[in-house]
């Protein structure tokens, strides 16, 4: 069985479709080149000929690999004036083809003859169609038909799992979109991208800006970044639009917290509220009230007074040691001074200022009397 390379998910298409019963012919083509594939041929088809759909349903490469380009119900551009009733198969080469290519052509041709109900007499070379003027397909078609007539075509009627038609219901735009395509599908894509924040001009032309928007969308959502809007990208666009258009959850109306509804502090502020009340900074009432500037001034004043008191206490205790008891090394002298009435016996650790020293010296009779 031939090796199938399915590229239908990314090939451009603008020609429209037909019923399978409308297909009456199978056309053989050659590429008139020594190599090539869909991508290389596309540049000629699109840039030179202006086509939006490729020329062939299948392309048989030099090694016999089959590029499956389009489903049979899609109309391609193989023979001018004869495309609606024709299924097109191209063999890459210029009048010279490999044995493997011929084997694969036989296989693919008889498979399509069976599923499309096309007789051998209607397997034609490009140049055999009315009005055609070309050397294509570069081979004697009588010989080709003779080869086919010796094969059992009937046994090829079982559907090939590699060539079943794509499920186009998966395609949001009905097809893959890529650079230089145009039409209503591209226009819808551009509208969708605008809704998702990828700003595009809606002109129905898939140019560099549309390709760049596709690549950025793919990068933003973990997809392969190739700028081609295939089935995976289209499915993700659909998902993202669904999220965008999903109804917003209705928030439960909350009753505003006012003075009337809350007489206790919030748990996140309870510890601080109780501390402020204990320190006398606040009276502990109406925790939800707004604080006026004059109330704020009062709080600051109370805090300042509290701070000043704390400083005085620290100075008295730490700097001057006013509240400590007399040390053992000075106790005897201290008690003598108390008995002599030279001190009142309080705050032994307090610092002695000069006026206090003067009083002590005077009581001890060490200051001479003033003489006239």
The pLDDT assigned to 35 comes to: 95
Q: Does 210 reside within a domain?
A: yes
Task: Render pLDDT for 179-211 as a digit per residue (tens, 0 to 9).
Answer: 877 778 899 999 999 999 999 999 988 899 999
CATH number at residue 133: 3.40.80.10
The pLDDT assigned to 304 comes to: 80
**How many structural domains does the chain have?**
3
| Cα-based torsion angle of the residue sequence 67, 119, 19, 52 in order, rounded to the nearest 10 degrees | 40
Domain of residue 283: give its range.
Answer: 270-319
Q: Does 251 reside within a domain?
A: no
- Residues in the chain, overall count: 372
DSSP string, 30-63: E-SSSS--HHHHHHIIIIIT--SS-S-SEEE-TT
Identify whether residues 174 and 153 lie together within a single domain: no
Identify whether residues 197 and 150 lie together within a single domain: no
Identify whether residues 83 and 195 lie together within a single domain: no
Q: Does 185 reside within a domain?
A: yes
Residues of the chain with pLDDT under 50: 152-162, 259
Per the CB < 8 A criterion, the answer to whether 109 and 156 are in contact is no
Identify whether residues 175 and 138 lie together within a single domain: no
Identify whether residues 106 and 127 lie together within a single domain: yes
361-369, long-range: CB < 8 A, 24+ apart: 364/340
Identify whether residues 124 and 173 lie together within a single domain: no
Identify whether residues 97 and 144 lie together within a single domain: yes
pTM for the model stands at 0.52
Identify whether residues 183 and 67 lie together within a single domain: no
Identify whether residues 112 and 59 lie together within a single domain: yes
Per the CB < 8 A criterion, the answer to whether 57 and 72 are in contact is yes
Per the CB < 8 A criterion, the answer to whether 19 and 73 are in contact is yes
Identify whether residues 32 and 98 lie together within a single domain: yes
Identify whether residues 56 and 126 lie together within a single domain: yes
DSSP state of 197: T
Identify whether residues 188 and 291 lie together within a single domain: no
């Amino acid at each position: 069985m031939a090796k199938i390379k399915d590229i239908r998910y990314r090939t451009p298409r603008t020609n429209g479709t037909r019923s399978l019963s409308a297909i009456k012919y199978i056309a053989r083509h050659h590429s008139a080149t020594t190599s090539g594939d869909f991508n290389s041929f596309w540049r000629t088809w699109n840039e030179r000929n202006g086509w939006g759909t490729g020329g062939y349903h299948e392309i048989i490469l030099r090694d016999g690999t089959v590029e499956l380009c389009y489903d049979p119900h899609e109309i391609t551009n193989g023979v001018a004036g004869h495309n609606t009733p024709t299924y097109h198969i191209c063999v890459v080469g210029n009048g010279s083809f490999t044995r493997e290519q011929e084997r694969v052509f036989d296989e693919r041709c008889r498979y399509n003859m069976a599923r499309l109900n096309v007789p051998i007499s209607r397997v034609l070379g490009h140049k055999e169609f009315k009005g055609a003027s070309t050397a294509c397909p570069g081979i004697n078609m009588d010989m080709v038909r003779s080869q086919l007539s010796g094969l059992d075509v009937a046994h090829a009627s079982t559907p090939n799992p590699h060539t079943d038609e794509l499920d186009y219901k998966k395609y949001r735009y009905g097809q893959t979109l890529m650079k230089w395509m145009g039409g209503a599908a591209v226009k819808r894509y551009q509208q969708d991208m605008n809704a998702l924040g990828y700003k595009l001009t809606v002109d129905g032309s898939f140019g560099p800006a549309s390709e760049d928007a596709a690549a950025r969308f793919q990068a933003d959502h973990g997809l392969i970044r190739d700028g081609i809007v295939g089935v995976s990208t289209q499915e993700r666009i659909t998902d993202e639009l669904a999220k965008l258009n999903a109804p917003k959850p209705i928030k439960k109306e909350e009753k505003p917290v006012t003075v009337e509804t809350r007489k206790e502090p919030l748990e996140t502020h309870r510890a601080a509220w109780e501390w402020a009340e204990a320190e006398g900074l606040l009276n502990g009432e109406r925790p939800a009230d707004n604080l006026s500037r004059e109330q704020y001034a009062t709080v600051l004043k109370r805090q300042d007074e509290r701070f000043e008191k704390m400083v005085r206490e620290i100075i008295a205790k730490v700097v001057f040691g006013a509240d400590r008891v007399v040390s053992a090394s000075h106790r005897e002298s201290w008690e003598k001074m108390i008995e002599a009435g030279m001190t009142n016996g309080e705050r032994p650790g307090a610092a002695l200022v000069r006026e206090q020293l003067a009083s002590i010296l005077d009581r001890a009779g060490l200051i001479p009397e003033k003489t006239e």
